[in-house]
Amino acid sequence: MVYNSTCPYFFCPTKCNLSSIQLKNYLAESSNNLKPSSLSHRIRFIRSLFRWLHEEGIIELNPASKIKEPRVGKRIPNFLTEREIEYLRDACFSPMEKALFEFMFSTGCRIGEIVSLDRNSINWGNQSAIVRGKGDKEREVYFNIRCDIWLKKYLDSRFDNDPAIFATERSPHRMSIAQMRYIIKRISKRAGINKTIHPHQLRHSYATHLLNNGAPLEVIQSLLGHEKSETTRIYAELSGRLRQEFYRKYF
């Protein structure tokens, strides 16, 4: 007997008589509060389960074969304005906070890429670092002079031998993703910005900054480590609207 506690339908794999209508009813009843992306994930799971049951000969008909995922509209990346970036920069107190913030913003790295970064991955000569991104793919990222200065100050202030480029202050060891998120949250609270700030916004802000300064999309795609150009192209939709907003806000 197979049973999901969230699903009102019991079924025996060897005698499954669920219909597409029953599955659709289940999805309608159990997914009222789900976002379209979460509903899509649930549907993919159900389709995968029934496809396997059908391929293994456990069921004769696949009731999930015609169930389609909802259309998920493209979401505009949530970025920070240049003014908000300066507020956050000013709210960084310690060399560690300044180094972490500047590295996140000036490289556009994913937080997971920064967590796994070691000191020996830094090339100080050309202000770059080798990071390991999604799919275990390596790429070179670059940081600016401001980041270079604070990163050196931070590393010079440490007396531990941990290879991680960012380590905890107490009993130094490699900083976790949760700890990095907490630090950014702490900085944003000091800055007094009336919005929730998370590390990935710095990555979006990095891409938006490049776009507004004329960087080609293919260059931004390479720097961000996007496998598909469609992932990067959404930033282009910001361009005209963003310039108008900046004009009205700052002129």
pLDDT digits 0-9 by tens, 208-230: 888 777 877 788 788 888 776 66
- pLDDT reading at 242 higher than 70: no
Report in angstroms the alpha-carbon separations of 66 from 24, 26, 38, 46, 89: 10, 15, 19, 12, 51
Q: How many CB atoms lie within 10 A of CB 103?
A: 25
For 131-151, write each residue's pLDDT tens digit. 987 777 888 899 999 999 999
Of 190, 198, 226, 233, which is the active-site residue?
226
With 50 as the cut, is the pLDDT of residue 8 above it? no
Q: Assess contact for 64 and 54: CB atoms under 8 A.
A: no
| pLDDT grade for 174, boundaries at 50, 70 and 90 | very high
Question: Which residues, other chains included, contact 102 with Cβ-Cβ below 8 Å and sequence gap of 6+?
Answer: 89, 143, 144, 146, 147, 150, 151
Length of the chain, please? 251
**Which residue did the predictor score with more confidence, 121 or 22?**
121
Say how far apart CA 32 and CA 35 lie, in whole Å.
9
- CA–CA separation, 196 vs 22, rounded Å? 40
Question: Mean pLDDT throughout 84-95?
Answer: 94
Catalytic-role residue among 47, 98, 110, 209:
110
How far apart CA 95 and CA 152 sit, in angstroms, is 9
Position 122 pLDDT exceeds 90: yes
Active-site entry in 54, 152, 158, 200: 200
Q: Decide if 35 is catalytic.
A: no
Q: Region 189-202: what's the mean pLDDT?
A: 86
Q: Which two tokens stand for residue 189?
A: 């609270």
SS3 54: helix
Find the mean pLDDT for residues 198-206. 87
- pLDDT at res. 100: 97
Instruction: Identify whether the C-beta of residue 141 lies closer than 8 Å to the C-beta of residue 129.
Output: yes
The per-residue pLDDT for 152 is 97
pLDDT band of 175, cuts 50, 70, 90: very high
Active site residue 173: no
- Nearest-Å Rg of the Cα atoms of the chain is 24
127-136 long-range CB contacts below 8 Å, 24 or more apart? Answer: 131/107, 131/225, 133/225, 134/110, 134/225, 134/227, 135/227
Q: Is 226 a catalytic residue?
A: yes
Note if the pTM is more than 0.85: no
Could you tell me the two tokens for 5? 């506690």
Q: Which pLDDT does position 77 carry in this prediction?
A: 59
Active site residue: 47, 203, 204, 209, which one?
A: 203
Question: Is the backbone of residue 99 left (phi > 0), alpha (psi -120 to 50) or beta?
Answer: alpha
pLDDT of amino acid 39 = 81
Our answer to whether residue 200 is catalytic in this structure is yes
Residue 30: is its pLDDT beyond 60? yes
Tell me if residue 75 is catalytic. no
Q: Are 140 and 181 in contact (CB under 8 A)?
A: no
Q: Is the pLDDT of residue 3 over 50?
A: no
Q: Which of 107, 84, 87, 65 is nearest to 207 (CA)?
A: 107
Query: Alpha-carbon distance 139 to 119, whole Å?
Result: 16
Please report which confidence band the pLDDT of residue 241 belongs to, taking 50, 70 and 90 as the band edges.
low
The question of whether 26 is a catalytic residue gets the answer: no
Determine the pLDDT at residue 214. Answer: 80
pLDDT band at 72 (very low <50, low <70, confident <90, very high): low
Alpha carbons 147 and 138: distance in angstroms, whole number: 21
Catalytic pick among 41, 134, 173, 241: 134
